[in-house]
Amino acid sequence: MISDNQKYSVLDIRSLSARYGEVKALNNVSLTVRKGEILGLIGPNGAGKSTLIRVLSGILKASAGEVLLNNQNITSYSPANRARVLAVVPQARQLGGAFSVEQAVLLGRTAYLGFLGKPSKLDLEKTFWAMDQTSISHLADRKLAEISGGEQQRVLLARALAQDAPVLLLDEPTTHLDLRYQASLLSTLKSLVDQENLTVLMAMHDLNQVSSIADRVALLVDGSVYSIGDPEDVLTPDNIKATYHTDVESFNHPRSGKSIILPLM
Amino acid sequence: MLKRSFLLLTGLLVLAFVLSIALGAVTIPPGNALQILIGKLTGAEFSGSWPEYFETILWEIRLPHAILVALTGAALAGSGAAFQGLFRNPLADPYLIGVASGAGLGAIAVMSLPQVGRYLVPVGAFLGALGTIYAVYTLAKVGRIVPLTTLILAGVAIGSFTSAITSFLMLVSDQMILQAMGFLLGGSTVSGWEPLSIAFPYLLSGMTLLILSGHSLNVLQFGEEQAQQLGLAVEKIKILIIVAASLTTAAAVSFSGVIGFIGLVVPHVIRMVWGGDYKKLIPLSILGGGFTLLMSDLAARIVMAPRTLPVGIVTALIGAPFFLWILRRAKREVFW
């Protein structure tokens, strides 16, 4: 018997723990990312958001528990096989500045390229498509070192799209961007998720952005899941006070009806 | 763009090669040199007349020497570019990170053993290079990254340590001290076709592997974490590149001695002119390394002719000031 949960889960995280040396970073985390949803991952600094993304993408080994990606243990995937299913959008730093935007996006095809890295027609098509979707086609020949932080973040999103993976993990993609770039990146992402039927797990800082874009929200604190569910059920003043140790007030947006969280000063 | 860069460097390499076989203590006019060469290779007869010893000098001494020098420069520059890409560090050169010294120790250790053939010298150098790179990498690693400062510090420390053992080995087996001295200064201690035929397979296979690794090195420029997330089998690839670069360095060191700065300077110039794409950078560095070492070797042979300076002295005289210049401009580098 396959339960509904298994049927619709793309990422099934079961009692997952991870540590950096002696320091425990994740402690018995269980959550499911369902097909086609945007799951927002929030929590104060050090809650384990980035660590979770690193375990899910095979960078860090779990110390206990397991992760099933499409019902198959994540550790059984080769790097290339995993990269064809799951793409990561890191924060825009540590970019190889000597590469052009097009070269960088093409590296999203690494899992499909041979050892020599010679791109096929399909690889180039996917690259141009991804640049087009993220509105960076006009930057194709510019060096990464020469473009703005907002444009770099778009390059990373394009690279992940070129990877042609149905699951996207994003690590605070809007943190270093100004308001205009934050809004345009999130709306681009939102329309791509609908259009390409992607499944997204996204770590975020801005609670109002999470509230506006996420289908569900998981609130992490000290490496454990504090609360998970619909945004309005998770983003309550009580939950925020208990995890961020900050008094907030919550309103409903006059048009969308979604929660707005304001810290009290 | 790509083709022009290859044509230019190939042209320079050929030019340096012809000069290198024509000039020296005895000057053979380049035209005659080319005719002798073509005659030897194709059996064609030329009407020109030249003393018979021109042919001996050219064929038995200068030609194998020039090929070995070109291959050595190519190997050092190619592995320098690969080490820089692997550690994502502009200062990673086989000499600065101690790999060349380690290879030198391995080579000298084998030479100091009684009744061991020359054939085993590259094997000793290879083991010395691998051991050194492992020690330097382990010592330099802080968490998950290899910072510039610790890499250079570990390289210098391990390099000094291996050099000290090398000096000790030289002192206890005093009959080989002169040979070893010249070797460590980067003087070619060998000549003729035989050593070239031993070195050739090592150099060729190592450099071929390095050229083929260009794409993987490109992916690694985004950091090991992103490379892994993009689907690169990072640990395997790293070992492959380290083995290829160490093999190449070791082969160069075991036949031409410890020659510094070629592996640092040449890839830097190439990177500044043609950019940081390793698919181009590695083959272009290989061509440029061959050219640069041929020219340095030529200078070493003619400035005090008929005496020959160790070529390592020439490369250090040019390379060290260049290195300082790189350090000064490092702050505003955008091509890295």
Residue A253 has pLDDT above 50, yes or no: yes
Closest-CA residue to B73 (of B276, B261, B212, B268):
B261
Q: How many CB atoms lie within 10 A of CB A80?
A: 15
Q: Which two tokens stand for residue B122?
A: 């590259």
Residue A1 has pLDDT above 50, yes or no: no
Prediction ipTM score: 0.89
Residue of B230, B235, B278, B279 to mutate for A, most A C-beta atoms under 10 A? B230
B334 touches chain A (CB under 8 A): yes
H helices of A88-214, in order, are: 101-106, 121-133, 149-162, 179-196, 207-213
C-alpha span between B80 and B74 (Å, rounded): 10
Residue A16: pLDDT band with limits 50, 70, 90: very high
B147 touches chain A (CB under 8 A): no
B275 touches chain A (CB under 8 A): yes
C-alpha span between B169 and B111 (Å, rounded): 10
B335 touches chain A (CB under 8 A): yes
B284 touches chain A (CB under 8 A): no
Could you report the average pLDDT of every consecutive run of 10 residues in chain B (336 residues)? Answer: 82 91 81 80 73 80 88 93 87 80 86 71 86 88 71 87 86 65 57 78 92 94 90 88 88 80 88 87 96 92 78 84 74 51
Please give the span between the terminal C-alpha atoms of chain B, in angstroms, as a whole number: 20
Residue A205's SS3 state is coil
Cis peptide leading into residue A254 (ω within 30°): no
Q: Which residues contact B289 (CB under 8 A, 6 or more apart)?
A: B73, B74, B75, B76, B77, B78, B80, B262, B263, B266
Please give the residue that has the higher pLDDT: either B116 or A29.
A29
Report the gap between the CA of A182 and the closest CA in chain B (Å): 22
Measured between CA atoms, the residue of chain B closest to residue A90 is: B226
**What pLDDT, in 10s, does the model give residues B77-133?**
999 999 999 888 777 778 778 888 898 888 888 877 776 666 777 888 889 988 998
Provide the angle, in degrees to the nearest 10, between the axes of the packed helices B311-329 and B262-274: 50
Contacts of B234 in chain A (CB under 8 A): 79
Q: Which of A33-42, A78-87, A122-131, A140-149 is predicted with the least confidence, judged by mean pLDDT? A: A140-149
Check A96 against B275: CB less than 8 A apart.
no
Check A143 against B334: CB less than 8 A apart.
yes
Residue A243 has pLDDT above 60, yes or no: yes
Residue of A50, A59, A171 to mutate for B, most B C-beta atoms under 10 A? A59
B331 touches chain A (CB under 8 A): no
Residue A118 has pLDDT above 80, yes or no: yes
Check A98 against B229: CB less than 8 A apart.
no
Cβ pair A85, A69 in contact under 8 A? yes
Closest-CA residue to B20 (of B60, B75, B65, B53):
B65
Cβ pair B150, B138 in contact under 8 A? no
Residue B256's SS3 state is helix
DSSP single-letter state for residue B259: -
A58, A59, A95 ranked by CB distance to B222: nearest: A95
Residue keyed to tokens 């949803």: A37
| Residue A54 CA: distances (Å) to CA of A87, A200, A262, B69 | 12, 15, 30, 47
Report the gap between the CA of B330 and the closest CA in chain A (Å): 14
pLDDT at res. B2 = 57
Residue A128: pLDDT band with limits 50, 70, 90: very high
Check B277 against A110: CB less than 8 A apart.
no
Contacts of A97 in chain B (CB under 8 A): 334-336
pTM of this structure: 0.86
CA B228 to chain centre: 30
Contacts of A116 in chain B (CB under 8 A): 212, 214-215
| Residue A177 CA: distances (Å) to CA of A183, A211, B219 | 9, 18, 25
Please return the burial class of B194, using the count of CB atoms within 10 Å of its CB with bins 0-12, 13-18 and 19+.
exposed
- Which residue type, as a one-letter code, is found at position B19? L
Check B215 against A116: CB less than 8 A apart.
yes
C-alpha span between B146 and B259 (Å, rounded): 25
Closest-CA residue to B228 (of A153, A165, A87, A217):
A87
Please give the residue that has the higher pLDDT: either B183 or A121.
A121
Closest-CA residue to B75 (of B101, B94, B91, B98):
B94
pLDDT at res. B190 = 57
Report the gap between the CA of A155 and the closest CA in chain B (Å): 13
Task: Please report the residues numbered 228 through 247 in chain A whose beta carbons come closer than 8 angstroms to any beta carbon of chain B.
Answer: none
Residue A177 has pLDDT above 60, yes or no: yes
Check A79 against B231: CB less than 8 A apart.
yes
Q: Which two tokens stand for residue B190?
A: 């060998």
Cβ pair B129, B102 in contact under 8 A? yes
Report the gap between the CA of B83 and the closest CA in chain A (Å): 16
A141 touches chain B (CB under 8 A): no
Beta bridge partners of A263: A248
Report the gap between the CA of B215 and the closest CA in chain A (Å): 5
Cβ pair B105, B162 in contact under 8 A? yes
Cβ pair B298, B23 in contact under 8 A? yes
